[in-house]
Amino acid sequence: MLMLRSIGIPDKWREFFKRYMGEIYKLGIDSVPLILIVSLFIGALCTLLIKLNISNPLLPRYTVGLTTREIILLEFSSSILCLILSGKIGSNIASEIGTMRVTEQIDALDIMGINSANYLIMPKIAGLITIMPFLVIICMATSLFGGYLICVITNIIDTDTYIYGIQTLFIEWYVWFALIKSLFFAFIISSISSFYGYTVKGGSIEVGKASTDAVVMSNIMILLTDVLLTKLLMM
Amino acid sequence: MIEVKNVEKSFQDGDQMRQILFGINAKFYDGKVNLIIGQSGSGKTVLVKNLVGLFKPDSGEILYDGRDITKLDRKAMKELRKEIGMLFQGSALFDSETVMGNVMFPLKMFSKMSTGEQRERAQFCIDRVNLSGSESKYPSELSGGMQKRCAIARAIALNPKYLFCDEPNSGLDPKTSLVIDDLLYDITHEFGITTIINTHDMNSVMGIGENIVFINKGHVGWIGNKDEIYDVDNDDLNNFVYATDLFADVRKYRLEHGYKPTRLALQK
């Protein structure tokens, strides 16, 4: 019911676009520093651990780069990134809308005759779905750069071999696969968090609980959807 | 005028239905300050939420100048809402907007004014509630009384026909409460608004209550005005009104000087 109320024609398009751009900035652009830090370290760690664990004379040295790339494209840049972002963005959305609910700001919108669900939730869903693929691309690039950087710093393999590895047997579909998944995950994070925030009853303790519940439920749904989409898109 | 006819409302309470409002009948007049009073838990907030359409009554009619809101479709209700302003107990100002942003908000959403005209109208409302100079402040930077005045400015921005106020004086000191009461009284008469205030502040009742509806345990206990309230023969109302020493003394004084109510429920 809430989704039906949320997804509809906005009362005022100008106001919708203003909020939509605001949400892109708040939910997406503001998350870039976190994505850069996490991706850089995860990329470096992947490279390091793969090198340490598959040191076998039968395997070519470029396997490190190749495996790092596959892990990042197939799972980290979309699923794991979205699990991390659900913590930041999900709690942000749930607590913002939840606080508006308990301080009667949502009632004020309803009294004015504004479809509060549409006014508050729609720009968040649209904004996050729009920006998420870009965040995934940033994550992919930064992670691969993290792997490169660890090669330079520790010299575990030479950088040419690493770059050769990440170019070898490249399947473009994996990038599209990650981007498609990220759209679903963006919808899951924004809609579930909005639902928990919008339906909160009580005071600050309930807002905190709603925020936690939103993150937990988003994570479960992301993992479930990940399995389903992998089955559907890869097999 | 808003007329309430036989309104009943129940809520699910565990396995049972709990009735809150029992056949409420009342009238709220144009250009007058109408008060809904009663003890906490008496059902007055539920009544106000029914009046503004946040709840739908189980039965009965709520007529806004003849328009029954219980039967209006979504579109008609949306139109009607443009004629309603509401002041919430906690002000319900939008945290992310300044005073000017809050007051301009309904204008941006519903008026066809240019941005300049919206700003002009918002400034008029801000000046009217004596908040000039605070236009660029955020709600968190305002005192409780200033927040209430900002909420009043927002509520009157679209020039509403009906203004609802839920506990407008809650959390305010007596002096600021008087300022808010006077402001609501003046605005009501200046713009001819049907103002309905949900309160249990006896200072407001005695100060601005032109039409008072007393709700007791979900029933209408009494209807009258501030001049009649001292001399009423109604135990429940007297228990409510004279719960504070101040008004008990007023009643005693009136009794000693020739006013003769039929019965006292709580005489000190």
Residues A191, A194, A198, A203, Cα dihedral to 10°: 140
Q: How many angstroms separate the first and last alpha carbons of chain A? A: 34
Which pLDDT score is estimated for B77? 87
Mutation for testing the A interface, residue in B84, B86, B158 having most A CBs under 10 Å:
B86
- In this prediction, residue B91 has a pLDDT band, given cuts at 50, 70 and 90, of confident
pLDDT, tens digit, 9 for 90 and up, residues B4-62: 999 999 998 888 888 999 999 999 999 899 999 988 888 888 999 899 888 899 999 99
Cα of A3 to nearest chain B Cα, Å = 17
Mutate to test the interface with A, among B89, B109, B150, B164 (most CBs of A within 10 A): B109
pLDDT over 80 at B256, yes or no: no
Chain A contact set for B139 (CB, 8 A): none
Q: In what order do the strands lie in the sheet with B194-199?
A: B84-87, B162-166, B194-199, B33-37, B211-216, B219-224
Q: How many CB pairs under 8 A join A and B?
A: 47
User: In this predicted structure, what is the pLDDT of residue B79?
Assistant: 85
Mean local confidence (pLDDT), A101-123: 90
Measured CA angle at A27 (ends A22, A33), to 5 deg? 120
Chain B neighbors of A107, CB-CB under 8 A: 54, 88, 92
Rg for chain A, CA atoms, rounded: 20
Closest-CA residue of A relative to B54 is: A111
Closest by Cβ to A108, choosing from B78, B79, B86: B86
pLDDT of residue B258: 67
What average pLDDT does chain A have? 92
Output the pLDDT for position A214. Answer: 95
pLDDT digits 0-9 by tens, A51-73: 988 877 888 889 999 999 999 99
With beta carbons under 8 A apart, name residues in chain B contacting A104: 88-90, 92
What digits encode the pLDDT tens for the residues B148-199?
Answer: 889 989 998 988 999 999 888 887 888 888 888 888 898 899 888 999 999 8
State pLDDT tens for residues A87-97: 999 999 999 99
pTM: 0.82
- What integer pLDDT is reported at residue B266 of this predicted model? 37
Which of A11, A111, A201 is the best residue to mutate to test the B interface, defined by the most B CB atoms within 10 Å of its own CB?
A111
Are A12 and B106 inside 8 Å of each other by CB?
no
Q: How far is A31 from chain B (nearest CA, A)?
A: 20
Model confidence at A2: pLDDT above 80? no
Phi (first) and psi of residue B52, to 5 degrees: -90, -5
pLDDT mean across residues, chain B: 86
